[in-house]
């Protein structure tokens, strides 16, 4: 951009040279040329510094808003923790705490962060401009995930759930599943059959399942594939526990919360996360039950504010 400025100045010098050859003052010509050059330098250097600083502040504001809104998920009753997290992340990106403003919205699922900083000018000082205040703003929301990749082929009919409490996700008796005769809580994701079912337990279904999708229950007890898939997870030696796990832990699984539509069809209404108890693997035959403790976690994807929350949240930047 600086070279472009020089190209623009060059014709001016030629014009001024012509004036000097006709008897004009060479000193006046040089003075006008230097003024033009300094003007372009101020534009390129100083206002370029403003653009770079704004880009840095945008990054800082985005990081701060995302950090703060995650704290709202963890403890909406304590918005001060979200504010502190936002300020700390902005500081880690070079913004002084005194220059960070945080606003937690009343419903405590949304946070706005504004950051600012002064940029001192160098060339523009000759025109009376000592610097500029640069600002950036970001807003982030948290809410129920509208879709999840990596769903495990179990299910729960919509009901009130309590964090930390164990729930049966795959049943020994089809009458307990709420899915009709022959359905034990298992789902057919991406096709039916024992091999596909076991793979989806071990790895999670690799497609996106969204709220409103219509799914097919898997028919039959599927005792062997269920035990094999869950044992694959238990034997992963991940080291995570119910009270100390991170997203990606093999024992942390995501399942759809469903509504039974009849005629062997179910509708996805939300998503929930469960931590598999590795000390209680499913037994063979008629005692084939999968149990998991209901937990709260964060996933990638889009927020759907129209979905009932079941502990699986997403966060999105909206500004």
Do 300 and 168 lie in a common domain?
yes
Last-in-domain residue among 116, 144, 172 = 144
Do 123 and 159 lie in a common domain?
no
Do 88 and 205 lie in a common domain?
no
Domain of residue 289, residue span = 147-317
Do 137 and 167 lie in a common domain?
no
Between 238 and 59, name the one with better pLDDT: 59
Do 309 and 242 lie in a common domain?
yes
pLDDT of residue 152: 97
Do 187 and 268 lie in a common domain?
yes
pLDDT of residue 176: 78
Do 139 and 190 lie in a common domain?
no
Do 157 and 234 lie in a common domain?
yes
The full 3-state SS of the chain, as one line of letters, equals CHHHHHHHHHHHHHHHHHHHHCCCCHHHHHHHHHHHHHHHHHHHHHHHHHHHHHHHHHHHHHHHHHHHHHHHHHCCCCHHHHHHHHHHHHHHCCCCHHHEEEEECCCCCEEEEEEEEEEECCHHHHHCCCEEEEEEEEEEEEEEECEEECECCCCEECCCCCCCCEEEEECCCHHHCCCCCCEEEEEECCCCCHHHHHHHHHHCCCCEEECCCEEEEEECCCHHHHHHHHHHHHCCCCCCECCECCCCCCCEEEEEEEEEEECCEEEEEEEEEEEECCCCCCCCHHHCCEEEEEECEECCCCECCCCCCCEEEEEEECC
Do 181 and 92 lie in a common domain?
no
Per cent of the chain over pLDDT 70 is: 83
**C-alpha–C-alpha distance, residues 318 and 187, integer Å:** 34
Least confidently predicted of 30-34, 167-171, 309-313: 30-34
pLDDT of residue 312: 95
pLDDT at 255 over 50: yes
As for how many domains the chain has, the answer is 2
Last-in-domain residue among 144, 165, 186 = 144
Do 159 and 303 lie in a common domain?
yes
pLDDT of residue 11: 53
pLDDT tens, position by position, 79-112: 899 999 999 999 999 999 999 999 999 887 899 9
- Region 30-37: mean pLDDT is 57
Do 137 and 151 lie in a common domain?
no
pLDDT at 31 over 70: no
pLDDT tens, position by position, 42-84: 566 777 888 898 999 999 999 999 999 998 887 766 889 999 9
pLDDT at 172 over 60: yes
pLDDT at 8 over 60: no
pLDDT of residue 302: 94
Last-in-domain residue among 93, 125, 144 = 144
pLDDT of residue 119: 85
Whether this prediction's pTM lies above 0.85 is answered by no
Do 67 and 155 lie in a common domain?
no
């Amino acid at each position: 951009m600086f070279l472009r400025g020089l190209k623009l100045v060059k014709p001016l010098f030629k014009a001024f040279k012509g004036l000097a050859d006709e008897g004009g003052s060479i000193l006046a010509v040089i003075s006008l040329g230097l003024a033009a050059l300094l003007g372009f330098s101020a534009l390129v250097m100083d206002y370029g510094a403003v653009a770079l600083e704004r880009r840095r502040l945008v990054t800082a504001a985005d990081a701060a808003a995302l950090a703060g809104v995650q704290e709202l998920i963890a403890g909406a009753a304590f918005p001060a923790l979200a504010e502190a997290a936002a300020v700390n992340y902005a500081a880690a990106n070079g913004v002084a705490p005194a220059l960070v403003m945080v606003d937690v919205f009343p419903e405590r699922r949304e946070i706005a962060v504004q950051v600012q900083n002064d940029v001192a000018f160098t060339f523009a000082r000759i025109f009376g401009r000592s610097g500029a205040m640069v600002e950036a703003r970001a807003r982030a929301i948290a809410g129920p995930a509208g879709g999840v990749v990596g769903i495990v082929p179990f299910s729960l009919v919509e009901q009130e759930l309590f964090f930390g409490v164990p729930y049966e996700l795959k049943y020994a008796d089809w009458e307990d599943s709420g899915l009709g005769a022959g359905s034990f809580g298992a789902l057919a994701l991406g096709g039916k059959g024992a091999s596909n079912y076991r793979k989806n337990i071990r790895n999670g279904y690799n497609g996106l399942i969204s709220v409103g999708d219509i799914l097919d229950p898997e028919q039959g007890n599927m005792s062997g594939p269920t035990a094999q898939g869950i044992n694959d997870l238990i034997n992963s030696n991940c080291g995570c526990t119910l009270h100390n796990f991170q997203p990606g832990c093999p024992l942390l699984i995501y399942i759809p919360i469903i509504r039974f539509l009849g005629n062997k069809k179910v509708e996805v209404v939300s998503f929930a996360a469960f931590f598999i108890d590795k000390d209680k693997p499913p037994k063979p035959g008629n005692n084939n039950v999968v149990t998991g403790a209901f937990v709260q976690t964060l996933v990638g994807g889009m927020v759907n504010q129209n979905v009932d929350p079941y502990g699986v949240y997403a966060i999105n930047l909206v500004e």
